[in-house]
Structure 1
Amino acid sequence: MMIVLDDEPYGWLLLEEDGQLYLDAMCSHSAVDYMFLLRLNDEEVALLRAKGRLYLDDLAYRIHYSAPGVLGSRSPYKGRSLVMTPERERASEAIQAYRAQERNAAAADRPSF
């Protein structure tokens, strides 16, 4: 089962499933916004462990800036896309569950009058 480990609103989500880490990076190009999911490779996992969230901020920015979802893109990440895969479906389900949990926690924190 895939779960969300961490997120940076409007930037990225870090997910995990069976010991594998995934980054879902927000990309925005003109009028098009999309999420770009990729499995972190060994080097990226090592950098994440060494640098933490700052590394994910940088990686998500590099993914966004390279425009992997844009027609004709030469992004080095394009070939690692998990769009239209079972991983994308499981990531979407995990993100929906995570967002629902966040909403429920926020609602519980509101004062009742």
Structure 2
Amino acid sequence: MIVLDDEHYGWVLLEEDGGFYLDVLCSHSAVDYLFLLRLTDEEVALWRDRGTAYLDDLAYRIHYSAPGVQASRSPYKPRSLVMAPERERATEAVTKHRSGG
């Protein structure tokens, strides 16, 4: 997994084997968490058409839908990769990217 773009303290765009992932920093009250999801084909097309402005908007919508909150009805919640193997690979890629490696 590699980092393609990094809006520090907002979101990170990653790619692996032709799939694109968005890792969004969500913050609700005293709780911060990362929410990773794989972009759909439609989302990839919108990102390619509109650029980072689309990713900013998507990250905003994810954040404010509170997908990590237990009672949340976020439409993104079912797409969570928090417990998937991709989460660990994303964390490793972001750490390497931010350390300059």
In structure 1, list runs of 5 or more residues that go unmatched. Answer: 103-113
Which residue number corresponds to residue 11 of structure 1? 10
The one-character-per-residue Cα deviations of 1:60-110 (angstroms, maximum 9, x if unpaired) are 0000000000010000000000001110010011011101107xxxxxxxx
Aligned-CA RMSD value: 0.8
The one-character-per-residue Cα deviations of 1:31-56 (angstroms, maximum 9, x if unpaired) are 00011000000110000000000000
Which residue number corresponds to residue 83 of structure 1? 82
Higher helix share: 1
The TM-score, its normalising length taken from structure 2, stands at 0.98
Identity of aligned residues (%): 75
The TM-score, its normalising length taken from structure 1, stands at 0.88
Which residue number corresponds to residue 42 of structure 1? 41
In structure 2, list runs of 5 or more residues that go unmatched. Answer: none
The total of aligned residue pairs comes to 101
What are the residue-to-residue correspondences of 1:31-110 with 2, within 5 Å?
A: 31-101=30-100
Which residue number corresponds to residue 27 of structure 1? 26
Cα distance between partner residues in 2 of 1:40 and 1:10 = 19
Considering only CA atoms, is the larger Rg found in Structure 1 or Structure 2? Answer: 1
